[in-house]
Structure 1
Amino acid sequence: MTRLIFPTRLFEFDLGDNSLLEELEASCWMIEEGDTAGHDWCEEKGYPGYTSYASLNDLPQRAPAFGALEAKLLSWAGQAADELGWDLEGRRMTLDALWVNILGEGGNHSGHIHPGSILSGTVYIAVPEGAGAIRFEDPRLANMMAAPQLRDKTAEDQSRFVYVDPKPGNILMWESWLRHEVMASRSEDARISISFNFGLSD
């Protein structure tokens, strides 16, 4: 008998609303156009594109589309928490951060986690052909030490890295300790996404 223990969950949802998807894309460009502080931060940090991560923390108040998205994300986060078996002990999950990412050719995000959060994820708005996949890393990797290499073909749940090629309207959500990165885009067209973090409040 073989038992599967300590699984890592990757939650996948779909926006299921083309009109909201279009509104979100227009709202992302609106935010990008007016966010001088965000552009200054991106230039200072050498960010390969635009992000509102360090400049704006009130997107749901800036455009109705972000408010509609917030409501959907709260519902999906509740489903994820239930599947994870979490006992929130009377506390509630809050959408602590919601930010826009726009990457052009060569744009990428190096491997990272989201400290201080419980659930993180990304809503995919525009994903041109050749846009970079998101890669998830086995959280046990640093402890494998003398583990042999895997065969060329292995099941996804045995892989050291899992690559996901999202489509517009896809939503991916995971526990915030899961290390991930965005591979470099090979497209001249913009890759637009909206990322988020959930925390706990009393």
Structure 2
Amino acid sequence: MPSRPLFVTQFYEGFLTDPALLAALAHSCRSLARDDMAGRRWARDNGYSGYTSYASLNDLPARDPAFADLKRRLDGHVRAFAAEAAMELNGRKPRLDSLWVNILKPGGAHSGHIHPHSIISGTVYIEVPPGAGGLKLEDPRLPMLMNAPGRSADAPEALQTFVYATPQPGTIYLWESWLRHEVPASRAKAERISVSFNYS
């Protein structure tokens, strides 16, 4: 009898097809990086190579029409992902809980982490210069594998211990918030701009 997959981890990829929105978001992100002194201070104090509004601003969709437009579009993608993952939400819709800007300098990285207190997390990529790297996703069973042998280099993606997703401008990635992920060090010569978010 053939084997069958169990406990599948869903990973969603969508796309923003509006160049004007991407340009507006890039402008807004750079304006925040210039004006948000609290965010710049937090990034400096916490060793973040660049700028993030993660700990300083929690009202971007109300503050800026570009982020409000982005939120409306993300809502649809998140609902589609929740349906694909067969989430039982008892008639409720996932609700945006937080949304923040990331501007990562060349050489910058973000170590492995999860997003507690939410159900769906994601990132939309605004500017991705060559060599900026993408997203590294970790098999959630890794802490329990103990003596398990490694996977062969040509193993199917679904069987790999780590999966690397390479975005382009406009790419939207979504995953369940418990999935550990990281941003490898950027080898680009320019900044990478993205917007990350959580839904609860």
TM-score interval, smaller chain: over 0.9
1:191 aligns with 2:192: yes
TM-score (norm 2): 0.97
Q: Mapping of 1:106-145 within 5 angstroms?
A: 106-145=107-146
Worse-matched range after superposition: 85-94 or 183-192: 85-94
CA distance in 2, matches of 1:154, 1:91: 38
The reply on whether 1:177 has 2:178 as its aligned counterpart is yes
Give how far 1:63 is off.
1.3
Contact 1:115 1:177 in 2 (8 A): yes
Aligned residue runs from structure 1 range 23-38, under 5 A: 23-38=24-39
Q: Corresponding residue for 1:168?
A: 169
Q: Is 1:151 paired with 2:159?
A: no
Q: Could you tell which deviates more after superposition, 143-152 or 155-164?
A: 143-152
Aligned 8 A contact 2:79 2:93 in 1:
no
Aligned partner letter, 2:119? I
On the 8 A contact 2:130/2:188 being kept in 1, the answer is yes
Query: In the alignment, which residue of structure 1 is the partner of 2:6?
Result: 5
Residue aligning to 2:62: 61
Identity %: 52
Query: For each residue in 1:101-150, what CA deviation from the matched residue of structure 2 results, as whole angstroms up to 9, or x when unmatched?
Result: 00111111000000111000000000000102210000001111111122
Tell me, yes or no, if the aligned pair for 1:108 and 1:132 is still in contact at 8 Å. Answer: no
SS of residue matched to 1:197: strand
Q: Distance in 2 between matches of 1:56 and 1:184?
A: 25
Contact 1:120 1:197 in 2 (8 A): yes
| Deviation (angstroms), 1:54 | 0.1
Helix, strand or coil: the match of 2:94?
strand
- The Cα offsets for residues 68-89 of structure 1, whole Å up to 9 and x where unpaired, read as 0000111111111111112212
Structure 2 stretches of 5 or more lacking a match?
A: none
Moved more, 162-171 or 87-96: 87-96
Across the aligned residues of Structure 1 and Structure 2, the Cα RMSD in angstroms comes to: 0.9
User: For 1:78 and 1:186, how far apart are their aligned partners in 2?
Assistant: 34
SS in 2 for 1:72: helix
Unaligned runs of 5+ in 1: none
Matched, 1:98 2:95: no
How many Å separate the matches in 2 of 1:147 and 1:196? 34
The 1-side partners of 2:150 and 2:27 are apart by 46
